[in-house]
Amino acid sequence: MSEITLLFAGPMGAGKTTAIRAISQIEPINTEVANTDFSESGKAETTVALDYGELSLDNGHTLRLYGSPGQRRFEFMWPLLAEGALGVVVLLDNSRPDPLADLRLFLDAFARQIGAGRVVVAVGRLDSHPQPSLDDYAEAVAARGEFLPVLAADVRRRDDVTALLDVLFDQIEAQAAAADAAGDDDEWLQLVRRARSQ
């Protein structure tokens, strides 16, 4: 196994296309078209099928980076893109009208990945829109009986995006340790351990 798939999900305008562009080592493939619904976002264009980028790791493995469309009408794409993904980065935009509702929507959508401990939540535009705070997000996650890393991120910055992936891999490594203790043997987790050790 030499390829790992990661998915960037979240509502329209949260920065999924931007995050992939920030770290991809190939020119990203995208499916952006004219945005005709400014009630959803003021963006001129919006992704309607997927984004795709690639990032090579030092150990020769390739990270395949997928981005999903954000509007709820495209939710049929979310499980398709999450299928086989090692982990999911849920990007949220704190300037949207109800970002905690966005959080709940996407946590529901990726419940399976959350159950496997393979989701990290990143909140953008906290500088200009400080409420809700990261603590509010953490409380909302905890209220669901879940524990997920919740971080602030400016996905225009490559370092912020790679930091998110580091946290995601840490999370997955922690799952690996737990799986080891349970005598479980997961090929994906072994792959991440090897990738992280180099």
50 binds other proteins (CB under 8 A): yes
Measured from the CB atom, the residue of 77 and 119 that comes closer to other proteins is 77
- Tell whether residue 35 is a contact of other proteins (CB under 8 A): yes
Contacts with other proteins, 53-72, as mask; x by CB under 8 A: ----------------x-x-
Q: Does 31 engage in binding with other proteins (CB under 8 A)?
A: yes
Q: Identify the helix (H) or strand (E) that includes residue 7.
A: strand 3-9
Chosen residue from 44, 143, 181, 182 binding other proteins by CB under 8 A = 44
User: Which of 113, 109, 119 shows the shortest CA–CA distance to 148?
Assistant: 119
Asked if 92 contacts 103 with a C-beta cutoff of 8 angstroms, the reply is yes
C-alpha to C-alpha distance for 32 and 158, rounded to whole angstroms: 21
Closer to other proteins by CB, 77 or 86: give it: 77
Q: Cβ of residue 67: shortest distance to other proteins, in angstroms?
A: 13
Stretch that binds other proteins, among 36-44, 55-63, 129-137, 166-174 (CB under 8 A): 36-44
182 forms part of the interface with other proteins (CB under 8 A): no
Alpha-carbon torsion (106, 107, 112, 114), positive or negative: positive
Answer yes or no whether residue 30 interacts with other proteins by CB under 8 A.
Answer: yes
Query: CA angle, corner 2, sides to 148 and 76, nearest 5?
Result: 50
Spell out the SS3 assignment of 58-93.
CCCCEEEEEECCCCHHHCCHHHHHHCCCCEEEEEEE
Interacting residues toward other proteins by CB under 8 A? 29-39, 44, 46, 48-50, 69, 71, 73-74, 76-77
